[in-house]
Amino acid sequence: MKLSSLAIAASLCLCTAGAMAADGGNINFTGKIVATTCEIPSGNIDVPMGVVTKDALAEAGTESAPVPFKIQLNKCDTQLEGVRVTFEGQTDENNSELLKIGTGAPTDAAGVAIKLADKDDHAVAINSESQEYQLAPGDNSLDFKANYVSTETETKAGAANATAAFKVTYR
């Protein structure tokens, strides 16, 4: 009796081991090695947002006029095809796609954030990649826009400054 119970238990173990086997697949790694990427002539870009009255941003969702700016890429390798840009920064408390303004000082504006957009007016959320920009060998200019957006029903006047880092990802 003990022997047949042991034989049944051993058979169950063997059947279970076969049932645990899973199908597999392949992982394909693709990439490219290039001699160099592009040069960024200036790591800092100043975007003068101008003066906007608080009345112009009186309702939540109201936007100021867009201000264009460029990221210049020089001496791009001939093997590079495209690039995406990520703007990294602190997000607004009311809208996580917008860049938070101010430093927390009592003189800061409130109820306002900065919206970034690409050359086709598609919003580029903070800490997310832009659409892809095609690169040509040599010098390239990536066009973007920034504008203030009211994020609350009441806007407080004050300094409306912000800083975002940018990261370029080549394709």
Q: Taking Cα atoms as reference points, which of 136, 138, 116 lies closest to residue 125?
A: 116
Question: Can you say whether the dihedral through the CA atoms of 128, 78, 134, 145 is positive or negative?
Answer: positive
Residues 115-142, mean pLDDT to the nearest whole number: 96
What SS3 state is found at 10? Answer: helix
Cα gap 153→5, rounded to integer Å: 76
Q: Taking Cα atoms as reference points, which of 49, 46, 74, 73 lies closest to residue 63?
A: 49
pLDDT digits (tens, 9 = 90+) for 131-154: 999 999 999 999 999 999 999 999
How would residue 8 be classed by pLDDT, with cut points 50, 70 and 90? Answer: very low
Q: For the chain, what is the mean pLDDT?
A: 88
Cα gap 18→127, rounded to integer Å: 46
Whether the pLDDT of residue 156 is over 90: the answer is yes
